[in-house]
Structure 1
Amino acid sequence: MHASEGPRPWYRQFWPWFLMALPACAVVASLWTVYIAHRDADDLVVDDYYKDGLAINRQLEKRDYAERAGIAARVRVDGDDILVTVSGPVRAQQLALYLSHPIESDRDIRVTLQRASRDSFRARLPAPPAPRWHWVLDAGPDSRWRLDGSLSDANFSDVRRP
């Protein structure tokens, strides 16, 4: 530095920028954390408990009806196919199967099963489920019966799983 030059302005110094960078990194990290929390929010909170309570009562009535009528089902995943074997008085040509992921509702699967034989229904799955997924089976929205359960390792005929 020459004697005729004075001190450099603050914005040309290292230390002010370094000291401002530390809080700026904290602000960026907190904004990123808020983004991640919003994007991957849990789907476990229900807004209207009363409506859900009424729906649960209807579901229990449908399940009781299936038990009294002797309707039972066995769900089996075979690669990309799903096979449902039913017993009891099921006359429908199609059944609705809903596979729900235990935590992430965006991974839920809804398929329409077509009758494959007298007591079995089959459909192709868009994505493979895994054990501990829940399933709900009925003959459609106006069905008088409903069955539900969860997939276990015994429900899979091959070992290719996510």
Structure 2
Amino acid sequence: MERARAIYARVGQAPVIIRREVDGFVLNRLQAALLAEAFRLVSEGVVSPADLDVTMTRGLGLRWAFMGPFETIELNAPGGIPDYVARFRGFLELIPRDPARPEVFSDEALATVMAEWTPTADAEAKMRWRDGRLAALRVHLDARDRGALDRAPAPPQASTP
């Protein structure tokens, strides 16, 4: 496993060790959980698909581009992960008490999402754009991991009058 891990790392991949077999890939399982809640929020009229995407791309997605969910919550409370869980336990437990059910992907839920979703006009062009942005982000993150960004000057701080 270590040899395989080294080979994948050498070619720019980010290998992880799976400690036990489960159906599906870890990434797909996490994505499914997030999608289930996204479908539920849209189909129950809480938020539009476009606004949900903004929430991800301008909020959580920005953090998740360079740190995972545990590091994110560790930095969101002064006492780290235990403090975060203590502060937000009540809210965090709401979702598992009302877990996403298969019907969140029902035809009715899908129809609700699609009624508000504007499909991408040129999906192939958008995929090329996405792949370019991912490649640029990868270059940025690789530079950060090499420490090159740590030596860069800090961005100017906004001043208040």
- Scaled by the length of structure 2, the TM-score of the pair is 0.23
Q: Which has the larger radius of gyration?
A: 1
